Structure 1
Amino acid sequence: MFRTITSSFLLAIFAGAVYAHGNVVPSAVDVEGLPPLEEWGEENPYRDAEGETREKIIETGQRGYGQNCVNCHGLEAVSGGIAPDLRMLEPGFDDQYFITMVREGGKGMPSFEEMMEPESVWAIKTWLETKYEDAMAEKYGN
């Protein structure tokens, strides 16, 4: 009897870990109004955008994050510990790794390449970079 209860308990724990990333179904993001990109590239082409264009990129990135990333990476990119805390992605740090993980998936993350366009992925990265700035200001009081 004890063995059955223990086995059931362990199975429940491991089943929870397997489904911890939630039910993620990649969805397209409306990129109307963003500067068009002809290829994926290896670094964020939107990082230095300014004015209304930057505002549109960040708005699109926030919306795209909410549609595709929030279930695993948390509200406002604050992870609950299962997936990486994306606020800690320093602007410019390994853009190629970021884009490869989003496109191809891996380490428990699904591939988003078939559903999302380069514009939406780089817009999400641009929005995440604003979260880094906020996190550093909060941490260091700047």
Structure 2
Amino acid sequence: MHHPFRILAVATVLAAAATTSLYAYAHGNVVPQGVDTTGLTPLGEKWLDQNPYRGNKLALKIGSSAYNQNCARCHGLEAVTGGIAPDLRQLDRDCASVKNETKKKACYKETDNYYLASVRHGKVRNGAVYMPPFEGVFNQEAMWAIKTYLDVRRDDVK
């Protein structure tokens, strides 16, 4: 004879498993999508420490597409966070308020370095992967094109 509480427990576990699998499926494909950087000036093998595409319209177009295909699922559509991961429009917001041009350039260089290190190597804390590494998935041109897009989104913040 089956105990009613055992049947209820099994039914609850099955319902939770079905709901979880539907949620995971609804999240969509999490495989990184390739980024076509055709038309951007090739940057070579040496990693740059500053965004060479700042203000480049083609880089902005490529970066917008690349961001929304690869980064938006965690960092939010159009870089407006949904709370899962940091709002990347805020990445170098402090630099915009710096009045001294030399200090402003140094600030942007520092945040460009932080951004590139984060994208290349990912973010891991206490063994938990918060962001996967994208080195080997994206080339340098793609990473800087995405940063170009984020710079524009930062400037759109009111």
Interval containing the TM-score (normalised by the shorter chain): 0.7 to 0.9
Matches within 5 A, 1:1-142: 24-38=30-44, 39-47=46-54, 49=55, 54-90=56-92, 92=108, 94-106=111-123, 108-135=130-157, 137=158
CA deviation map 1:94-131 (0-9, x unaligned): 11111011011115001111110100100000110000
Gaps of 5+ in 2: 1-26, 94-107, 124-128
CA positional deviation for 1:35: 1.1
CA positional deviation for 1:66: 1.3
What's the secondary structure of 2:130's corresponding residue? coil
TM-score (norm 2): 0.66
CA positional deviation for 1:23: 5.6
RMSD over aligned Cα atoms: 2.8
CA positional deviation for 1:90: 2.1
2:48 & 2:35 partners in 1: Cα distance?
19
CA deviation map 1:11-55 (0-9, x unaligned): xxxxxxxxxx986322220000011101321111112x4xxxx21
AA paired with 1:120?
Answer: A
2:122 & 2:28 partners in 1: Cα distance?
15
Larger CA Rg, structure 1 vs 2: 2
Over the matched positions of the two proteins, sequence identity in percent amounts to: 50
The worse-fitting range, judged by mean Cα deviation, of 34-43 and 111-120 is 34-43
TM-score (norm 1): 0.73
CA deviation map 1:40-83 (0-9, x unaligned): 21111112x4xxxx211100000110121010000010011110
1:87 & 1:123 partners in 2: Cα distance?
15
1:44 & 1:90 partners in 2: Cα distance?
13
Gaps of 5+ in 1: 1-20, 138-142
The worse-fitting range, judged by mean Cα deviation, of 37-46 and 77-86 is 37-46
